[in-house]
């Protein structure tokens, strides 16, 4: 009987989830690892096997791994920082966590989350079509309640979120690890407007502020992988420089945390030297 593999994303923004899994798998085997994700290698192995089965797949896989290596140091530290923010939110009593653009995230499985936590994962249907069979084959069991929402963030994901048991009257910790950067400014603003409407007082959200040199090789290669080699113009994306002002004007209390301050204790060579790079931390006011 011929072995089949879950259909793996090979283009588009969903492809970035495979790259992040490569990064998490690489981090997890280090003796000084910042976190341990035992499922990341399963995703990597399944994806690599699927790439082998298509014409030109191994060459494309090699490119993906090369790009992942280019982003490894900063991205793996970013995973740890989000882990820490999730743990902090849980310690402060938040019981709803929503991952917008969840990708191949496994925090519901790998973090020591209390059983009464509800984790909602939102991402494209094709991403979960790859992810869920691999977790099922591994008999992976989440440590808390987990809901999968296979939907494009440009659609009515708020309605689906409610249908899966989300309670807008309870504080929520919202996690974005980069998906807003792949949405047009209009769609990114719509996502943040929607999550603002769904956020009870005490809810938390973080917006990254970073500098991107689109001509630098790592970003150029990433763009080629995600959008193809034709070099099509990319529309204006994410919330823009006025994200903090928008949040302040719409009922959030914000504080800026510089990247260098956040990574100082992690002993990795990722300091930027730029005091304007970091995360705007927002807490929903009453």
- The pLDDT score that the predictor gives to residue 214 is 61
Residue 223 lies in a domain: yes
**Quick one: pLDDT at residue 1?**
34
Give domain status of residue 181, yes or no: yes
**pLDDT for position 227:** 66
99: domain CATH number is 3.40.50.150
Instruction: Specify if 111 maps to a domain.
Output: yes
| Residue 253 belongs to a domain | yes
In tens, the pLDDT along 5-24 reads 678 888 788 889 999 999 99
pLDDT: which is higher, 116 or 220:
116
- The answer, yes or no, to whether residue 59 has pLDDT greater than 80, is yes
* β-strand partners of 281: 206, 255
> Has residue 139 been placed in a domain?
yes
CB atoms within 10 A of CB 181: 17
Domain housing 111: 76-284
φ and ψ at residue 201, rounded to 5 degrees: -50, 140
Q: What is the pTM of this model?
A: 0.92
Q: In the chain, which ranges are E strands?
A: 96-100, 118-123, 145-150, 172-175, 204-209, 252-258, 278-284
Tell me how many domains the chain contains: 1
User: Contact, 239 vs 184, CB < 8 A?
Assistant: no
What per-residue confidence (pLDDT) applies to 2?
40
Task: Indicate the DSSP class of residue 155.
Answer: S
> Does the residue 23 lie in any domain?
no
Instruction: Give me the residues paired with residue 96 across strands.
Output: 118, 172
- Token pair belonging to 202: 């005490």
Rounded CA separation 163/228 (Å): 36
CA distance to 67, 71, 253, per residue, from 43 (Å): 17, 18, 38
Q: How confident is the model at residue 199 (pLDDT cuts 50, 70, 90)?
A: very high
CA 187 – CA 119 distance, rounded (Å): 23
Q: Quick one: pLDDT at residue 278?
A: 94
**Higher pLDDT residue, 195 or 57?**
195
Asked whether residue 36 is assigned to any structural domain, the reply reads no
Element (H, E) at 88: helix 57-91
How is residue 16 annotated by DSSP? H
**Longest Cα–Cα distance in the chain:** 60
Q: Does 59 fall in a domain?
A: no
């Amino acid at each position: 009987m011929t072995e089949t593999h879950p259909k793996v994303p090979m283009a588009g923004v969903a492809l970035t989830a495979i790259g992040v899994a490569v990064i998490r798998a690489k981090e997890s085997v280090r003796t000084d690892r910042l976190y341990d994700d035992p499922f990341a290698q399963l995703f990597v192995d399944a994806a690599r096997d699927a790439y082998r089965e298509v014409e030109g797949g191994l060459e494309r896989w090699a490119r993906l791994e090369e790009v992942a290596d280019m982003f490894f140091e900063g991205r793996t530290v970013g995973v740890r920082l989000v882990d820490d923010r999730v743990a902090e939110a849980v310690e402060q009593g938040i019981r709803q966590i929503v991952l917008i653009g969840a990708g191949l995230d496994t925090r519901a499985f790998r973090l020591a989350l209390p059983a009464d936590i509800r984790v909602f994962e939102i991402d494209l249907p094709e991403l979960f079509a790859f992810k869920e069979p691999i977790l099922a084959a591994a008999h992976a069991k989440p440590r808390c309640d987990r809901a999968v929402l296979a939907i494009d963030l440009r659609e009515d994901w708020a309605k689906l979120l409610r249908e899966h048991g989300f309670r807008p009257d309870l504080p929520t910790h919202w996690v974005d690890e980069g998906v807003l950067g792949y949405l047009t400014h209009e769609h990114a603003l719509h996502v943040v407007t929607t999550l603002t409407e769904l956020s009870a007082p005490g809810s938390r959200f973080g917006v990254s502020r970073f500098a991107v040199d689109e001509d630098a090789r790592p970003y150029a290669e990433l763009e080629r992988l995600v959008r193809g080699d034709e070099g099509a113009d990319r529309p204006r994306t994410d919330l823009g420089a006025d994200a903090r002002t928008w949040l302040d004007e719409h009922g959030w209390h914000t504080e800026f945390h510089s990247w260098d301050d956040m990574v100082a204790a992690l002993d990795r060579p990722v300091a930027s030297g730029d005091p304007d790079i970091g995360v705007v931390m927002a807490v929903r006011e009453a």
